[in-house]
Structure 1
Amino acid sequence: MKLLFFLIQQSNIEKKMEEAPDSAYEIGVVIGSYLPFVVLAVIAYAIYHYTKKKRDSE
């Protein structure tokens, strides 16, 4: 499922890059496409770290 979503996302990014008016737009597309995944990964790690620390202290 994750692989399918990644492939769909990748083709969408490539299409936007081809239609990009300049390089600044391309950078914005890349940042905007990958930033949500990075933020979710950081939040997931923070929750994991918090629960692990809480469980170890008990």
Structure 2
Amino acid sequence: MRIPLLLQQQDNIDIIKQKLAEAPDEQYGIGIFIGNMLPFVVLVILAYLMYSYMKNKSNGDENLLDD
């Protein structure tokens, strides 16, 4: 399972390198960096919002998060 993931990551790196090589100017690299980091940042923010929501919701109910 790890090998296909590693191959996919290598393909993504190759695509990014190709985009940078074909870039019209140096500023294009900033856009590529932001575009690659944006999904990760959105997921982190979403996870934090869900965590804080559940934490605030469980303040009134002590057994909400217990198994």
Larger proportion of helix: 1
Counterpart position of 1:25: 28
Question: Shift of the alpha carbon at 1:33?
Answer: 1.6
Q: Normalised by the size of structure 1, how large is the TM-score?
A: 0.69
Q: How does 1:39-54 map to 2 (within 5 A)?
A: 39-54=42-57
Find the structure with the greater CA-based Rg: 2
Q: Normalised by the size of structure 2, how large is the TM-score?
A: 0.62
Q: 1 CA distance for matches of 2:59 and 2:37?
A: 33
- Aligned identity (percent) is 45
Structure with higher RCO (Cα < 8 A, 6+ apart):
1
The answer to whether 1:35 aligns with 2:1 is: no
Structure 1 outlier segments of 4+, above 2 Å: 8-12
